[in-house]
A and B are shown apart, each in its own frame.
Chain A
């Protein structure tokens, strides 16, 4: 995958399918361009093989209201940058489509001058992503049956 197309995911916030190790390492590698930051906090959301009513989750299928995701993710970044003034940049990438159990579906990278704000701002960014981004998930079980799922806390 071309580096430029990986950077465009950060602008659009969405990627089709799982967030691969190449995408993750490319975005981490880009940090070398900065010299004004001293701490980076990364959150990776992974698809868990939950067992629900005796059936095991094989994958999750995400769908998104793409235009509104862009509007809301821009707002999340503005909120975090104004609340955590030591924070310099925020990258958010979320999957759409099918992501298998064990694969990564959410990438958040927050860069700040010092570690404390990087960690706190990253945590708050993840909370806002869960509550504000118009994204839905359907669990796909090993027997291929499917069920819509809502977020519960943490």
Chain B
């Protein structure tokens, strides 16, 4: 099972990437831990998480092909 993870704003610089693929995480919470292990610096930043264009909590389950995004506070306008 593989999910696509998009990084935005300052998180692009923290992770050095716009997009990465992760396997094995069953929930948003588990995926978040996996990403935090890889990029410990991410803990210093506020962000919310979307699953297929909808903002979700840690307890949401993941399925193959899902698109997840890590989004710092919005700054449009």
Residues of A within 8 A of B (CB): 45, 62-65, 67-68, 71-72, 94, 105-106, 126, 129-137, 148-151
Contact = CB atoms under 8 A, between A and B. Distances in A.
A19 B63 CA distance: 39
Interface of B: 6, 8-10, 12, 50, 53-54, 69, 71-77
- Among B9, B54, B69, B73, max chain A CB count under 10 A is at B9
A68 B72 CA distance: 14
B8 A63 contact: yes
A131 B74 contact: yes
Contact of A65 (B6, B73, B75): B6
A149 B77 contact: no
A65 B69 CA distance: 9
Nearest to B48: A134
16 contacts: A63-B9, A94-B77, A106-B76, A129-B77, A130-B74, A130-B76, A131-B74, A135-B75, A136-B8, A136-B72, A136-B74, A136-B75, A137-B76, A148-B10, A151-B76, A151-B77
